Chains A and B, each alone.
Chain A
Amino acid sequence: MKQQTAYSIKRRLWAFLCLILSLTFLFISLGVYSFTAAGEKAVWAERQDEAAKAASEVIEQFVGRVNGALHTLGYLSEDHVNELQELPAYLIEDYPFLLEIVRLNKKGTVSQGAHRDNPVLSSLFTIPQANWFREAKQGKAYISDVLVSSQGTPYMIMSEPADNNNVVAARFRMDILWKIVDELRFGEGGITFVVDQSGRIIAHPDRTRVLQNTSVALREEFVLAKNSANFTWSGSYVNLQGDNVIGTVRPIPGTNWLLIAELQRREALARSHAALVFLSVAGGLFGLIAMLIITRLSQHFVFGPIGRLQEASQSIGQGDLETQIPVVARNEIGQVALAFNDMVIRLRDREEQITQNASLKAELKERERTQAELQKAKEAAEKANLAKSEFLSRMSHELRTPLNATLGFAQLLERDTQFPLEARQEKRVVQILKAGKHLLGLINEILDISRIEAGKLTLSLEPVQVSTIVFETLELVSPLAEKAGITLKTDIPSGIFVIADNQRLKQVLLNLLTNAIKYNQAGGNVRLYCEAHEETKLRLYVKDTGHGIPNEKMRDLFQPFNRLGAEETNIEGVGIGLALSKHLMDAMNGTLNVSSVKGEGSTFWATFPLTTAATPFSNNSESPKDKKTPLTSGVHTFLYIEDNLSNLTVMEDVFEEQPKIQLLTALQGRRGLELAQQHPIDIIILDLHLPDLSGKEVLQQLKKQPCTAGIPVVVLSADATESQINTLMTLGAHSYLTKPLDVDNLLHTLNTLMEVRL
């Protein structure tokens, strides 16, 4: 498709050319016309002027001849008049234009006269009053208006004074004068006529003008001539007949008449008009031809090639790279075409390259798509994982509450000093405790993993002495090792500190050692040793002599609940120990790695950041080992605010064994507050989940009241979340213990508090 450009250069250029051409011819035509017209006018004016001059001379001569006749008669003395009575008749014969000639005495009586047709002057009875007589008598020459007789014959009367106060007068024909003006024609339509001083037409080719007493008195040409210095004027106007004429007005000497010569303007300017018409037609035709030629030439040399360029570029724009522009000439446009063709070739090469790259591109695209899918899958998985963690978290929390009671009562049974258990009973209670603790451990581990995965695990990283941890751990696992017949070997020097969380490190180590024992061969050993790595790190190795882990299973080693086939053995476990350990190590900025040789055993090593300085908190790691720590101080009153009856029973049982402790209990928060105000309370143990007020509110109330503000509050809650702990500690709780209740830990805490208070 060819585009119709609204503002095409071509159209504008040609429109401009057309305009310029038209204007040029218009100006040339008008210019030539005005020049020729002016010239022609000037020539005509000159000719007209000359002719008018000649005409006026002729008329002057005519008038002169009339005068001559009058003079002839007038010169006669009175004496001769009678002698030459025949003279007038002779004069009439000699002058064909004379109709009548008379001589009158001073009284107006005709003394001499002759006439051609019939007597007029001599027959008048009003001569003395007639102006022609009176004027001549007063010594003036007189010329009358054109007088038309009732028969329609025009005539004029001319008179002049004669000898001895006499008057001579002549009546003469107008035909001669009219003949004269008839002959004075300019061109075909031009006329010449004579007017008297009042503007009345005396002689005119159209005789009716005279007979009808036509006057030009009010006409422009007459007024202008009358007002001019010597009654001479010329110019263009519309004449009596309504024609556009160029006229000349000039006086006729010897008379007070004016000669008006008119030339038809059309005739005067005939040649100019012809020139104008010719120029217009020729110019127009030439313009047309010129336009056609220019159009064709510019089309051929400029716009055609440009159009082809345009089409080519459009087709290239639409992707047709096979287009080539025919290079017709080696001119500028040809050069552009060449350059264009060159460009197209380059474009084509480029296109080919691009096509080759297209497969790569597709692959890349596919990969991107996969990635996006993966991302989606990952997000879905993460979401699912989160849901799982949430579920586990809830499950374990819900499991811990009944377990709390189980373990609590088992411990009470075990510790009952009043009614000590029989050996068999004690053994069973110990089994209950063992199983319960195992279950608790599992739940805790699951919780830990879910916390880690949820990013909610909080660690207290501090310098920890490795040897201490190792010692404590070995103490814990040694019964297990003994039972399994595994030899434990350690080679850990004291005084080595690493940055880690005391508890979590122990947990990891315990895990590794437990695994090393559990999955060892009978009579095997476990070796625990450490070495510095890269100066700033410490590697803690646990090397066993088990079956080893096959390479193909190595990948799943740290996956939770994946026991690598151990589920088919009778070895206990749920398969989350390593996963948790790995997570914990990661969380503590360390790593957990494994190498294994099938049949020879595996070596797990944990890597920690090394540190040199020990901290005062390192003592924290000291756990109360004395199982039966009594509260040694004097009589004290404790308040336990708790709504769970089983928990209350456990606590009451704990303090039943402490005779110096009075335990007050409250099932509701408000009741607890009342008690706190009414009694001198030493320590308040506060559950957070209460029916009326929340434990948090109770704590705030306590801290607000001056009488209770000083009482240390130990929070005991199943809610082990970090934020909750932080909140309550900030509000003023002394300690935060989590359920299930660890009686030893509680007593230890209380003991410490009592010591401080005392």
Chain B
Amino acid sequence: MDQPSQTLRWQRWQIVMIASIIFGLGTVLAFSTLAVKKNISPAEMPAAFAKQVILYDWENDIPWSVLNAFTQEFGIEVIYKTFDSLTEAVESVKSGNVYDLMVIDNERVPELIEQNLLTPIDYSNVANMRNISANFRDLAYDPHNKHSVPFNWGTTGLLVRTDLIEKPITSWSDLWRDDLKGKIGIRNDERELLAVTLKSLGFSINTEDPKELELAEQRLFELRDCVVLMDSYAEGAMPLLLGGSIAVMIGYAEDFLLAEDAEEPIEYVFPQEGSLLWGDNFVIPASSLNKTTAELFLNYLLRPQVAAQIVNENHYANANEAASSFIAPEIIDNTVIFPVVKDLINAEVFLPLSEQGRALYSTIWTKFLGEALVLAP
């Protein structure tokens, strides 16, 4: 007969019982440690990029060398779609065409924002925003740069055939001189000549003050028989100046570059009342299917070297301050392209007008075009 085995010997079930208690304890401890374990933040997750990005811009605005480099680096193909006019660009966006990154001028930005056609830019993906000059940050057309990043900019001044005029031209007011009658080339732009008129009167180019506009209208009409309406493209307008049929024309700094190498003595004048400043911006249309990819692309374009390469190839001034040291010296030192601050005193940026303002401007301009048109030969 078995001697009482129950006394002091471990039995299997007892071991099982103790093991289960230890297991339970372990579970509680594991639970308590798990509770404080780090979770992976969604912010640290790599973003998924699209295979391609659609750029919508003026033709040749961004060189292919830059775009190909992007494709090479990120494996993202760039589809470059172009527009011929800002009106076309806006209409295209409005009609719902899909673009990931678009270039548009200052004036059109508020309109697009208002119509919810733009996506706010997440600057945590666009750290290169810091490269943008303070001059172009947080301007009136887009508070806090919520929807746009400044890109190219430039001045509108006067291109002058110094050999064809008797007295030097230094201001917008000189256009009203009698000796220049019929020798002034202008473009068909609703705001440009009116802005010049306003500037000559010492008013803001963005004014909506009816009194100021009335004065400006009167002064504008004084130019009725004195101006020659040119092609909007520099390539079309420049022959007039080079040919000598006009002695002075309202033009962009880059237009001057076309004439720089010409034999005729042509000068670019920053009028004393202040130049007109234009600016282009990168925006992300709401139609973009991959905003993150668009932001990646934008951030790439804002790299100092990339921005500098664009400048080096296209010769437009860039809002990218950090790019300066990478821009070819002949370009950065060209004061027509990159004016010295002295020349920009009183310079003014075109800002969007209100509805009424726009109507007012439009009426004046139509009236002006209807009454006096001296077309280029």
Contacts and interface: CB of A to CB of B under 8 A. Distances in A.
A280 B21 contact: no
Interface stretch (A141-149, A338-346, A659-667): A141-149
A576 B103 CA distance: 155
A22 interface: yes
Contacts of B136: 126
Interface stretch (B118-126, B156-164, B286-294): B118-126
Interface string A696-732: 0000000000000000000000000000000000000
B41 to A, nearest CB: 3
Contacts of B48: none
A266 B36 contact: yes
A14 interface: yes
Interface stretch (B3-11, B69-77, B260-268): B3-11
Contact of A126 (B36, B135, B204, B322): B135
Nearest to A268: B36
B43 A240 contact: yes
A125 B135 contact: yes
Contacts of A238: 39, 41
A304 B36 CA distance: 48
Nearest to A154: B130
A689 B367 CA distance: 167
Interface string A124-151: 1110111110100000000011011110
A276 B35 CA distance: 12
Interface stretch (A78-86, A210-218, A584-592, A597-605): A210-218
A201 to B, nearest CB: 9
Contacts of B35: 244, 273
Interface of A is mostly: helix
Interface string B121-157: 0111011011111111111110110100000000000
Interface residues on B, range: 35 or more
A150 B319 CA distance: 11
A200 B18 contact: no
Interface in A192-245: 198, 200, 211-215, 238-244
A150 B14 contact: no
A132 B8 CA distance: 88
Nearest to A312: B1
Contact of B17 (A15, A240, A284, A315): A15
A239 B347 CA distance: 46
A242 B38 contact: yes
Interface stretch (A49-57, A287-295, A430-438, A632-640): A287-295
Interface stretch (B24-32, B173-181, B193-201): B24-32
B338 to A, nearest CB: 12
B25 A284 contact: yes
A238 B127 CA distance: 24
A315 B349 CA distance: 114
Interface in A301-327: 303-304, 307-308, 311, 315
Given A129-B348, A131-B138, A311 B1 contact: yes
Contacts of A149: 130, 134
A276 B32 contact: yes
A509 B130 CA distance: 162
A148 B130 CA distance: 5
B248 to A, nearest CB: 24
Contact of B140 (A125, A134, A150, A288): A134
Given A150-B322, A212-B127, A213-B129, A120 B21 contact: no
B17 to A, nearest CB: 5
A277 B17 contact: no
Contacts of A315: 1
A2 B1 CA distance: 8
Nearest to A14: B17
A120 B41 CA distance: 38
B41 A241 contact: yes
Interface in B12-68: 13-14, 17-18, 20-22, 24-25, 28-29, 32, 35-36, 38-41, 43-44
A124 B134 contact: yes
A381 to B, nearest CB: 57
Given A215-B123, A242-B39, A280 B4 contact: no
Given A22-B21, A238-B41, A304-B6, A125 B139 contact: no
B203 to A, nearest CB: 11
Contact of A145 (B2, B43, B138): B138
Interface in A143-185: 144-145, 147-150, 152
B4 A308 contact: yes
B21 A130 contact: no
A29 B144 CA distance: 53
Contacts of A33: 32
Contacts of B124: 212-215
B282 to A, nearest CB: 15
Nearest to A287: B21
Contacts of A243: 38-39
Interface string B302-344: 0010000000000000000110000000000000000001001
Contacts of B39: 238, 242-244
B257 interface: no
Contacts of A152: 130
A636 B138 CA distance: 172
A265 interface: yes
A238 B41 CA distance: 7
B21 A128 contact: no
Nearest to B342: A125
B29 A120 contact: no
B25 A281 contact: yes
B351 interface: yes
Contacts of A14: 13-14, 17
A63 interface: no
B36 A244 contact: yes
B32 A273 contact: yes
B276 to A, nearest CB: 12
Given A212-B127, A242-B39, A284 B21 contact: yes
A147 B146 CA distance: 13
Chain B CB within 10 A, most for which of A129, A277, A315: A129
A1 interface: yes
B28 A26 contact: yes
A152 B124 CA distance: 15
Contacts of B349: 126, 129
B165 interface: no
B345 interface: yes
B179 to A, nearest CB: 31
B86 interface: no
A188 to B, nearest CB: 13
Interface string A241-273: 111100000000000000000000110010001
A144 B123 contact: no
B32 A144 contact: no
Nearest to A18: B17
A129 B139 contact: yes
A144 B145 CA distance: 11
A243 B41 CA distance: 8
Candidate in A125, A149, A244 with the most chain B CB atoms within 10 angstroms = A125
Given A11-B13, A212-B127, 18 more contacts: A14-B13, A22-B20, A26-B24, A124-B135, A125-B277, A125-B345, A145-B144, A147-B138, A149-B130, A213-B124, A238-B41, A244-B38, A244-B39, A265-B36, A266-B36, A276-B28, A296-B8, A307-B4
12 contacts: A22-B24, A125-B344, A130-B140, A131-B143, A145-B138, A150-B133, A238-B39, A243-B39, A277-B32, A284-B21, A291-B17, A311-B4
Nearest 3 pairs of A and B residues by beta carbon: A242-B41, A213-B123, A125-B344
Interface of B: 1-2, 4-8, 13-14, 17-18, 20-22, 24-25, 28-29, 32, 35-36, 38-41, 43-44, 122-124, 126-127, 129-141, 143-144, 146, 204, 277, 304, 321-322, 341, 344-345, 347-349, 351
